A and B are shown apart, each in its own frame.
Chain A
Amino acid sequence: MTPQKTAPAPAEPDTVPDDDVVLRLEDLVVEFRAGNGATVHAVSGISLEVRRGETLGLVGESGCGKSTTGRAIMQLPRPTSGSVVFEGRDLATMSGEELRRVRPKLQMIFQDPISSLNPRRRIPDIVGDPLVVWGRGDQRAKVVPEVLEAVGLDPAQVADRRPHQFSGGQCQRVSIARALVLDPEVLICDEPVSALDVSVQAQILNLLEDMKARYGLTLLFIAHDLGVVRNISDRVAVMYLGRICELGETRALFDTPVHPYTRLLVSSIPSMQDVADLEQVDRGGGEMPSPMDPPSGCRFRTRCPLATERCADETPLMREVLPGRFTACHHPILDHAGLDHTGEDVGANAADEHTALPPDGRPGKEDA
């Protein structure tokens, strides 16, 4: 294991990051002012590292701050405090002009593919625009058809078309093409398939995997659909009410969640597999409290079956409870005998599975 790479404590701001880390969030805070003088605590101090070439999934329910985190990375708007270190430089303190120069390397795609495209422009113009902005308009004729083809659109066929002539899935392909045309390092995908039909989702998910390989991308994949996140991510961070409650390698995290909230989430996945029951998890009747008035201490404590007084008094810090697994919980669930949804004998294997990971905690692609 390489703990120095995943140490949760914020590093000194001027530390040169490891080559391996492409994006580092340090104690990121985003707050919005609500009308009545109240403050919305959308993101409350998250620290996270995105490693080069990985897909990091960011999951959580609506209102947990996952989209705000994605946008704060893009400095849209700039975070209230904390830093976003991209390739060694803090985006949060950059001037507008510097930021503009960095932005091509960070691209984003959004949930609603149709409304994120200008309805009055033709597809090749939409995709080629970033090149024009960067004074590389002369490359359009070469690059645009290449990228369109890469995302599975026939350049000749789409030449005269506008977004409304396409379905949601095809518009998402266009969005991806537009994001890729400047050859970015990091692609932030904010709920890229939630607006699509199931049969179309799979096309886009497979495409993202292909584009990641072809363009050497690092993906930050933000979504609420746990099945989708589980399949595409190498590591997953689970957010609840503005904080990260658990972070770890995908399969291990889903198989043996340590944070009670992760356990609740995983047990709520509608299953396509044989329904080995997770009914023993008490789903309670609770819902996420308002981010305008988050609970003291651990923010999940109001719904947590394991909560004690300590959880109200003391905010749990992120710590490594299993190799490569971090959680912010005073009472992490480290005994998983009762939580087996793989149908395998987890009792013994759970530990093996963690230690069997490659040292960097990033397993290669496994064949289906």
Chain B
Amino acid sequence: MTAAAEDPLAAPAPVETPTAPGEPLLVADGVTVRFHTRNGVVRAVEDVSLELREGEVLAVVGESGSGKTVFTRRVMGLVSGGRGTEVGGTVTFGGTDLTALSSTELSRIWGAEIALILQDPMTSLNPVKRIGAQITESILLHRRVSKAEATKRAIELLRSVGLSEPERRIRQYPHELSGGMRQRVTIAIALSCDPRLLLADEPTTALDVTVQAQILDLLADLQARLGMSMLLVTHDLRVVRSRSHRIAVMYAGRIVETAPTSTLFANPLMPYTEALMNAVPPVAGPNHVRLQVIPGRPPNLIRPPAGCKFSPRCPYAQDRCLTEEPPLRDAEPSPLSEPSRRSPSAAPELHQYRCWFPVGSPAWAEAKARNVERGSSAAGTPVTEEMVLT
């Protein structure tokens, strides 16, 4: 990373020589997942559409219960219809509709084309199998190679993910490794067959901060070197800031905003996105800063609020927000995002948001002034200064 960091908007191309993001590799169209439970229908994912292009890193950001993990599992084909689960929409990978495949057909894609890294490296490894066997398993399954060759490949992989003494490691069991080392092993397994798409669901949440930085660096480096596409799922906006091309923010099972990473940070339009950014303590400037508070908590997905799902917590909410759910619509080109910063690809620099009163617009300023004056939002949530710091 170079001098480009001086320019405040010059954040974050994670890839030094971008593998020009090209054709959509993964297209999720109207993905919906509902779980029928005793208490009612949990609407975990509602009509989520996303495109991930070749060589692109797309971050899906959301709090617990936002549907990001269920969405990822649906993409992977790990959540399917039946037995109380209702699914809708399609997931197309390289032209193939994954949702139409049988599990036998899917298993040819799993590991070979699409690989998954999960949050907890302890539970995603088999505790009674040696590391080496766990890596060679998928190589032997998907590639026509001898055991010796597979082992050689396993050693190379462990070395490439930065594990010391790989020859010794392949004889070890998961419990002999630390959390960070285990996560490196799961990454090695994920990469064993050169997948075109890597799904990483909270890959660093269980790790310490210095190890987290190492693993994120490693993923960014591997992604760039191998030209993989990556879907990076996280609850922490901070970790994807310098490590993604685009971000999709999820709330209550929906995408509420999606934009190129630098645009999203420079010009968030959905109040939830803005609030998420301001709720995190800053790492520069004065301390004892009053944090912007988002009142309440994420909605119950069995009985989500009518209208905009964020409206009960939104300091700018007006009557319309309570009754009418805003559609995902295109943003006006922002004066803040310089064209020169845009990706060279022909793909549109889509910035979409779901809000009747997008942050920064005249309508928003009016809504804010009205709520501050009456001391509450249309939903009856008291609006305090803490909520409208910006």
Contact = CB atoms under 8 A, between A and B. Distances in A.
Interface of A: 61-62, 167, 169, 197-203, 205-206, 209, 224-228, 230-233, 250-251, 254, 264-265, 267-277, 279, 283-285, 287-288, 341-343, 365-368
Nearest to B163: A285
B287 A250 contact: yes
Interface of B: 1, 5-6, 8, 11-12, 63-64, 162-164, 178, 180-181, 208-214, 216-217, 235-239, 241-242, 275-277, 279-295, 297-298, 313, 386, 389
Given A206-B290, A206-B293, A224-B209, A275 B283 contact: no
Contact of A268 (B213, B236, B237, B386): B213
Interface of B is mostly: loop
Contacts of A254: 283
Contacts of B292: 202
A134 to B, nearest CB: 33
A367 B164 CA distance: 48
A231 B281 contact: yes
A201 B242 CA distance: 23
Nearest to B5: A277
A224 B1 CA distance: 27
Given A197-B297, A199-B275, A203-B295, A274 B8 contact: yes
Contacts of B214: 283-285
A341 B285 CA distance: 10
A197 B68 CA distance: 14
Interface of A is mostly: loop
A272 B276 CA distance: 11
Given A206-B291, A206-B386, A273 B284 contact: yes
B282 A231 contact: yes
Contacts of B211: 61, 287
Contact of A272 (B210, B212, B280, B313): B280
A287 to B, nearest CB: 5
B122 to A, nearest CB: 13
4 pairs of A and B residues whose beta carbons are closest in the complex:
A231-B281, A270-B238, A268-B213, A61-B208
24 contacts: A61-B210, A61-B211, A197-B235, A198-B235, A202-B294, A203-B295, A205-B291, A206-B291, A206-B293, A209-B290, A227-B282, A230-B281, A231-B288, A268-B209, A269-B209, A270-B213, A272-B238, A272-B241, A272-B277, A277-B1, A283-B217, A284-B214, A285-B163, A341-B284
A200 B217 CA distance: 28
Contacts of A276: 5-6
Given A283-B210, A285-B214, A368-B389, A251 B281 contact: no
A202 B281 CA distance: 8
